[in-house]
Amino acid sequence: MMPSTVSRFRGALLGALLGDCLGAVFEGYSVLNAGKVCQFLERLGKVKQDTLVYTDDTAMARSVIQSLLAQKDFDARDLAERFAREYKKNPDRGYGMSVIHVFEKLDSGEYNDVFTPAKEQFDGNGSYGNGAAMRVVGIPLAYPCIQDIIQFAKCSGQLTHASSLGYNGAILQALAVHYALQGQQSKDTFLQHLLGHMKEVESDEKSCADARLLELAEYPFWSKLNKIKEFLSKENVSRKEILKELGNGIAALESVPTAIYSFLRCMDPVAELPQEYNGLQRTISFCISLGGDTDTIATMAGAIAGAYYGEEQVPPSWKACSEGYKEAEEWGEELHKLHSSR
């Protein structure tokens, strides 16, 4: 049965939350395999479990959602204030090493323009971390129109990530969630949509200049999407190849494409994962088994997979141990209303 639209909205937020909470258990592991991850996931349903806390990924995603629901529209100043307030209230959620300076500056009251602190990061080059992408899920759940999604994914990202390699990652992740919400479509159609948009997004002067500065080829995200297309056409792609070509790091360029590949790869059964796993379970466990920035890659892929498969695929035992799952369900419904009202 096809999931209802509201189920996809709740699924997107639950998928994102579970990816973060479950992925955070393994963050930074370099030697990891699917067996180890699945063993842990199996135990969740059987042994009484302490609540798994969410990290910076979800803390910031919650601020984006709360701002959208309160303002009924994107409001950069309100969002900046929420980021800074949330960080001050709970600084130990595993934030990136540098982004905390942005929060401190935002909180200082010395900046009139809320975008300035992010521009000062890394000697004026801005951050290319995956922090803008990891939290963006609320945008495609609030806006049905592509141009709005691109604009507000970008602006929400630029509050902390002034490098186009950071905010373009947020645009790509937001578009992936948008197309996943539409459900059934071939992997090829899904990728074609993203390829078309990213070529355009990455054609502006700043994107080209930032790519050159980092000695990357032109259209870096578009190039990774082409690599994904190539990988999907192959019978078997090893973990080693995935890590070499797509990555599992804290840069958006080394993690957003990995999340998208994982979602598409896991539409079909994966040999190393239990046969009884559904698509959402495969996606989250596959991402975690890649190691590296596990919480962030799994939260991004979880958002896409949850939007695609709906909340029916969310395992109750995984959900029950994830901090804040009730809000994810409620906010999914509220965002659905907001999305439908536009």
Measured between alpha carbons, how far is 294 from 34 in angstroms, rounded to an integer?
13
Q: How far is the CB of 175 from ligand 8NA (least distance, A)?
A: 19
The answer to whether residue 56 forms part of the interface with ligand 8NA (CB under 6 A) is: yes
Q: Which stretch binds ligand 8NA (CB under 6 A): 39-47, 93-101, 230-238, 302-310?
A: 93-101
| 151 burial via Cβ count (<10 Å: 0-12, 13-18, 19+) | middle
Q: How far is the CB of 251 from ligand 8NA (least distance, A)?
A: 6
Measured between alpha carbons, how far is 269 from 52 in angstroms, rounded to an integer?
27
The answer to whether residue 250 forms part of the interface with ligand 8NA (CB under 6 A) is: yes
Q: Which stretch binds ligand 8NA (CB under 6 A): 70-78, 120-128, 301-309, 332-340?
A: 120-128
Q: How far is the CB of 15 from ligand 8NA (least distance, A)?
A: 17
The answer to whether residue 29 forms part of the interface with ligand 8NA (CB under 6 A) is: no
Q: Tokens 């979880």 belong to which residue?
A: 302
Q: 13 or 59, CB closer to ligand 8NA?
A: 59
Least Cα distance to 117 among 160, 156, 157 occurs for: 160
Per-residue CA distances from 183 to 174, 177, 199, 267 (Å): 15, 10, 23, 12
Residues that bind Mg ion (CB under 5 A): 55-57, 94, 293, 295-296
Chain centre distance of CA 128: 14
Binders of ligand 8NA in range 135-164 (CB under 6 A): 163
Measured between alpha carbons, how far is 125 from 14 in angstroms, rounded to an integer?
34
Q: How far is the CB of 30 from Mg ion (least distance, A)?
A: 14
Q: Are 134 and 258 in contact (CB under 8 A)?
A: no
Least Cα distance to 226 among 191, 265, 256 occurs for: 191
Q: Which of 15, 96, 306, 310 binds ligand 8NA (CB under 6 A)?
A: 96
The answer to whether residue 130 forms part of the interface with ligand 8NA (CB under 6 A) is: yes
329 touches which of Mg ion, ligand 8NA, none (CB within 5 to 8 A by kind)? none
Residue 287 Rama label (left phi>0; alpha psi -120 to 50; beta): alpha
Tell me which residues touch ligand 8NA (CB under 6 A): 27-28, 55-57, 94, 96-99, 122, 125, 127-131, 134, 163, 250, 293, 295-296
